[in-house]
Amino acid sequence: MTYFELCALSARREQGDEQVQVALSQYFPILVFLAIGAFLGLAFVFGSKLAARQKPYPEKLTAYECGFDAFGDARRRFDVRFYLVAILFIIFDVEVAFLFPWAISLGRIGAVGFFSMLGFLGVLTVGFVYEWNKGALDWE
């Protein structure tokens, strides 16, 4: 290689390094945000540990602090209906999360977006009616 070819190669390499530095410098605000968030999170946790009065006494160390002893074993099984209601809540909560962006962009997506969301809501409605008919929402 000649001297000029080496200079051109070096210039291209430096230009590539500058592009990498520019690309990495665009992530600097995110890094600062994460660092501040981590610092504040740790400061709040350790600050509350340092500032809190810690004078435990026997009543405070019991499993139940409500004034009376436990009625029975705390490890009994929960009714499945609690889990079922929680899962149904999550499903329909996610449905609402999909409805917000759809409602905002409805003017731009046109009829195709409208009918695709109508199909999505139809599937969820069929699922809800199925759960209702199976008695998943009955507490008796």
Q: Which residues of 71-107 are buried (b: 16+ CB within 10 A; e: fewer)?
A: eeeeeeeeeeeeeeeeeeeeeeeebeeeeeeeeeeee
The pTM assigned to this predicted structure is: 0.43
Q: What's residue 68's pLDDT?
A: 63
- Cβ 92 vs Cβ 127: under 8 Å: no
Q: What's residue 31's pLDDT?
A: 92
Return the structure tokens found at 26: 């665009």
What does the DSSP 8-state code read for residue 137? T
What does the DSSP 8-state code read for residue 78? P
**pLDDT averaged per 10 residues, the chain (length 140):** 59 56 77 96 94 77 63 70 83 85 87 90 89 79
Q: What's residue 20's pLDDT?
A: 56
